[in-house]
Amino acid sequence: MELDLIDVQFDLRNIKPRELEEALEDPFSVRFLPDNERSDGASRYYALGRTVADRYLFLSFTTDGKTARVVASRDMSEAEQKFYDRKYAEFR
């Protein structure tokens, strides 16, 4: 999936594009799909993912199946990290 980082609403100096790609491609990432339908056909997801350097990231992104556009990104909170670790342990 291609990553669209044009006109993002967060600082790309704090979270590098490579880290966003790694978190989205994390095979153990946890993704949530919100309940509301969107008129433009894109789906909006929330994801918890980990980078190769072991950085835990929360992402909000839209996708049309071909391109992912990251809307927001930040480091996971402690509660989110514990949730991710519990889910990760289930798969190992």
Q: For the segment 6-47, what is each residue's pLDDT rounded down to a tens digit?
A: 878 778 889 998 999 999 999 999 988 776 666 766 678 899
List the alpha helices (DSSP H) in the chain.
Answer: 17-25, 78-91
Average pLDDT over residues 43-55: 92
Average pLDDT over residues 42-63: 90
Total structural domains in the chain?
Answer: 1
Q: pTM of the prediction? A: 0.84
User: What pLDDT, on a 0 to 100 scale, did the predictor assign at position 41?
Assistant: 66
Rounded Cα distance between 30 and 46, Å, is: 8
Percent of the chain with pLDDT over 70: 92
User: What pLDDT, on a 0 to 100 scale, did the predictor assign at position 13?
Assistant: 86
Domain limits for position 52: 2-91
Which has the higher per-residue pLDDT, 88 or 36? 88
Nearest alpha-carbon partner for 27 in 45, 48, 42: 48
